[in-house]
Amino acid sequence: MPTTHEVTNQVPSLTGYDVSADPALLEALRREGAGWAETEVRELGARAGGEQAQEWGRLAERHSPVLHTHDRYGHRIDEVEFHPHWHDLMDVAVRHGLHGAPWRDERPGAHVARAAKVFVWGQVDAGHLCPISMTYAAVPALRAQPELAEAYEPLLTSSSYDFGLRVPTEKRGIIAGMSMTEKQGGSDVRANATRAVPTGEPGLYALTGHKWFTSAPMSDVFLTLAQAPGGLSCFLVPRVLPDGGRNAIRLQRLKDKLGNRSNASSEIEYEGALGRLVGEEGRGVATIIRMVNMTRLDCAISSASGMRLGLVQAVHHATHREAFGARLVDQPLMQNVLADLAVEAEAATLAALRLAGAVDRAARGDAEEEQLRRLGLAVTKYWVCKRAPAHAAEALECLGGNGYVEDSGLPRLYRESPLPSIWEGSGNVAALDVLRAMARQPQAVEAFFAASRRSTCRDGLPPWTSSSPSSRASP
């Protein structure tokens, strides 16, 4: 073989490593009261870094979902076909409780444990975490209608992934989606034109309208907004009705997106689709915002997870690649770049886990943490998600031309990075939400700055040492 075909100075594949071997993550896990989950987080982290899981994620992203509106005979079916490894990814996520375990787990720190697992498993594939996140977030919104929560919450928190369009209450476990935005309104959901007409049966409405974005359209149930006689209201809409018939939800097309390509995002029509009222008529935004706030937490976690992945890839490359007479990792300028990437990735990780701790303690009745959660989610979602694309671009640049090639995985990370900043309220919407919270809940501002003060290091020592005034001290 000619010497020109001899391969030298190339970086080995990054597989067979423990994604959870992240000191910032593990320290935050313990500090926020979920040290009891470390063994499972480490097990999931080892699996996430394994060759099999990495290949699942690559193939699920490379082979995007396919929409089938009709079967071979011309019957309307409105089904989406996924790559088989999409279901493998979903199965692992559900079995490990990434979709809903905290709502059934009474141990303190359950939301933190779940956040850490989302962080490590998300580094395999971010797309499938969209329905996982929406299922997690649907529970607090559904609790606005106790009888619906009683029927569906055990299924939304079940550890069984049971794919397929069947009556939701007859399945071993279900997945939830969200359908809010319309083409004329986008983030301005009050501009929604979908109509909800009472059927005569208490709590049951027929919905007619067009939804511009509905992610994970093969979900079993959706929370959606529509204009009822009493104003904009929230509804639970199943894909399959109690009699086994398909609800009148027509999938018009799948979105051809920049990233998040393993996940199906669709444009749909309601043609008299039946839905159950959740909460009060006219209180739709107040009801569904409970879901939106929880998905904002996952936006921050997802961005932090992506930053960690970019950092690991950059360090791995620099450790094995030589240039200008030395390994890249030993070159002073590269050390500066890697240090910057590490500092920002760790800060994002700490912020995401701290907020998961606030969510956990707020769910258990801590009023101060509830105020911190209210403001902190919007602020952190804004900043961490806004920084993710720049971080991904810098990590990609560390690999040079190799990073611009699909095989490296960095283009996939780069395409994914803008999404959390857009989903659940882009930058301006998040900023307006912060202003709204400051005006309506001024105590949230004090809670936010109090947490910030507690997180200030003294003499190089973190605030959760013996000098900490509270076990709730921020990282």
3-state SS string over the chain? CCHHHCCCCCCCCCCCCCCCCCHHHHHHHHHCCCHHHHHHHHHHHHHHCCHHHHHHHHHHHHCCCEEEEECCCCCEEEEEECCHHHHHHHHHHHHCCCCCHHHCCCCCCHHHHHHHHHHHHCCCCCCCHHHHHHHHHHHHHHCCCHHHHHHHHHHHCCCCCCCCCCCHHHCCCCCEEEECCCCCCCCCHHHCCCEEEECCCCCEEEEEEEEEEEECCCCCEEEEEEEECCEEEEEEEECECCCCCECCEEEEEECCCCCCCCCCEEEEEEEEEEEEEECCCCCHHHHHHHHHHHHHHHHHHHHHHHHHHHHHHHHHHHHHCEECCEEHHHCHHHHHHHHHHHHHHHHHHHHHHHHHHHHHHHHCCCHHHHHHHHHHHHHHHHHHHHHHHHHHHHHHHHCHHHHHCHHHCHHHHHHHCCHHHHCCCCHHHHHHHHHHHHHHCHHHHHHHHHHHHHCCCECCECCCCCCCCCCCCCC
In whole angstroms, give the CA distance from residue 132 to residue 115: 12
Q: Is the pLDDT of residue 470 over 60?
A: no
Q: How confident is the model at residue 466 (pLDDT cuts 50, 70, 90)?
A: very low
Residue identified by tokens 């080995």 is 12
Q: Which amino acid is at 429?
A: V
Q: Which amino acid is at 270?
A: Y
Q: Is the pLDDT of residue 185 over 90?
A: no
Q: How confident is the model at residue 424 (pLDDT cuts 50, 70, 90)?
A: confident
- pLDDT value, residue 468: 34
Going by C-alpha positions, the residue among 360, 358, 422, 363 that lies closest to residue 388 is 422
Q: How confident is the model at residue 457 (pLDDT cuts 50, 70, 90)?
A: low
Q: What is the pTM (predicted TM-score) of this model?
A: 0.93
Q: Is the pLDDT of residue 295 over 60?
A: yes
Tell me the per-residue pLDDT of 69-115, one tens digit each, with 9 for 90 and over. Answer: 999 999 999 999 999 999 999 999 999 999 999 999 999 999 999 99
Tell me the per-residue pLDDT of 254-274, one tens digit each, with 9 for 90 and over. Answer: 999 999 999 999 999 999 999
Q: CA distances (Å), 223 to each of 146, 323, 325, 345, in order?
A: 15, 54, 58, 33
Tell me the per-residue pLDDT of 342-377, one tens digit each, with 9 for 90 and over. Answer: 999 999 999 999 999 999 999 999 999 999 999 999
Q: What integer is the mean pLDDT of 433-440?
A: 90
Q: How confident is the model at residue 187 (pLDDT cuts 50, 70, 90)?
A: confident
Half-sphere CA count of 293, side-chain side, radius 13 A: 25
- pLDDT value, residue 255: 96
Tell me the per-residue pLDDT of 14-31, one tens digit each, with 9 for 90 and over. Answer: 989 999 999 999 999 999
Quick check: 120 and 83 in contact, CB under 8 A?
A: no
Residues above pLDDT 90, as percent of the chain: 87
Residue bearing the bigger pLDDT, 135 or 456: 135
